[in-house]
Amino acid sequence: MQTITFSRKELYDLVWKEPLSKLANRFKISDNGLRKICKRMNIPLPPMGHWQKVQYGHRVTLISLPEKYTGKNEVTLDERGLNDIVPESPKAILQRITEEIERTSGLSFKVNDRLTKPDTLISSTVSYYQNLKWYRKTHRGEYPNRKDVLDINVSEDNEYRAFLIMDTIIKLLRVRKHDVIARFRETVAVIYGEEIKIRIREKQSVADAKKTLGRTFNLFTGELIFVIGDYNKKEFRDSAEKLENKISAIVAYLEYHGNIKKEERIRWEIRRKEEERKEQIRREFIEKQDREVKKFKTLFLQAVRHNQANILRTYVQTVDANTIKNGKLTEEYASWKIWAENKISWYDPLTNGSAPLLTNYHKSNIFKELLQEWQW
């Protein structure tokens, strides 16, 4: 644990640099306690919505530190040690996000009794269900196109209520700089760039199911459920408190879940890039190793060829000495000697002469089979 003394100006800079909740986690003090200290020292705090604007890159207005102040000019805070810092629980994070959203001015969480300037996705969804009812009733025309239709599965009695709830949530998400996309039989909220499935369904009762013509149909119960996610899903249900009163909690959970997915994706991207970096290093090493082996093999083969060329030279010199000694110098021998010396010059990597009927391939492979036979 470390004790740090801040001047009034330093504390002012600190509370405008980080939210009080983060500072409270860093120091052994509650955010409310820190707020009281700032009030005593006449230090202005960021207004509601400030950190949201910072998060989305909007311009913010800083409130200057008042010069007229005659009180205590320093404050001492105890910084938490690594073992003292307790990670914020999911429940606390959700509560903090919910409170932040509810404090943001200009946001309305009230679900109206009627659709007023509905979102385009709501308009297309309403139109689809109206056309679907007309088609089922008349069996005329084409089956309605399910384009930009939200994932809503409720009884006809609860359709309008579901539209009102979804319209309120979508508008709030858009104000919070998020997005909602309706695909074929799937709706996703795009939170911090991450897609999260959302839908509204109505609970169906199996116990109260009725049979018609030998078939069983589940009955709608009137209880609406807002579903977030797919496999590890979170559900907000009608209870003593209706869905209409849980809008801020729904939006807060979406932001919380979106942030988790974003952090997971970033961590995955970091791991993937690190694995790619290691793989690139491995491939480059193998390529470098292969080049080194190839160069060394070439060196070895050249040394072998040079040694073999010297063996051939020694042989030709011996034949020449014997031929002269025995007095058998003929035109045929002279022609053979010239041919032999030419081929030795071609084969020796130090002279690298020319041989019209032979190529570099022959230099490397002409004795391969013979050498393999010698190995046996």
For 196-222, what is each residue's pLDDT tens digit?
999 999 998 876 555 655 666 678 889
d(CA 29, CA 87): 15
The answer to the question of residue 113 being in a domain is no
Residue 3 pLDDT more than 70?
yes
The answer to the question of residue 110 being in a domain is no
Residue 342 pLDDT more than 70?
yes
Question: How does DSSP classify residue 27?
Answer: B
Claim to verify: residue 127 and residue 264 sit in the same structural domain: yes
- E strand or H helix that includes residue 216: strand 215-228
* Domain closes at, from 61, 86, 111: 86
Structural domain containing residue 153? 120-273
d(CA 198, CA 207): 27
Claim to verify: residue 323 and residue 243 sit in the same structural domain: no
Burial (CB < 10 A; 0-12, 13-18, 19+), residue 332, is exposed
Per-residue confidence at 323, pLDDT binned at 50, 70, 90?
Answer: very high
Claim to verify: residue 132 and residue 230 sit in the same structural domain: yes
Report the amino acid identity of residue 221: T
Residue 83 pLDDT more than 80?
no
CA quadruple 261, 266, 269, 270: dihedral sign: negative
The answer to the question of residue 183 being in a domain is yes
The answer to the question of residue 359 being in a domain is yes
Residues ≥6 apart with Cβ < 8 Å to 265: 194
> Taking residues 315-331, what's their average pLDDT?
93
Per-residue confidence at 366, pLDDT binned at 50, 70, 90?
Answer: confident
Return the pLDDT at 364: 80
> Taking residues 216-234, what's their average pLDDT?
87
Claim to verify: residue 172 and residue 195 sit in the same structural domain: yes
Return the pLDDT at 22: 82
> Taking residues 107-122, what's their average pLDDT?
90
Digit-coded pLDDT (tens) for 27-38: 888 888 888 999
Return the pLDDT at 89: 76
Going by C-alpha positions, the residue among 170, 65, 74 that lies closest to residue 122 is 170
The answer to the question of residue 95 being in a domain is no
> Taking residues 243-253, what's their average pLDDT?
93
The answer to the question of residue 97 being in a domain is no
pTM over 0.75: no
Per-residue confidence at 340, pLDDT binned at 50, 70, 90?
Answer: very high
DSSP states of 100-117 as a string?
HHHHSTT---PPPSS-SS
**What's the start-to-end Cα distance of the chain, in Å?**
77
> Taking residues 153-172, what's their average pLDDT?
95
Report the amino acid identity of residue 374: W
* Domain closes at, from 247, 273, 299: 273
- E strand or H helix that includes residue 179: strand 179-183
> Taking residues 294-304, what's their average pLDDT?
92
Return the pLDDT at 85: 55
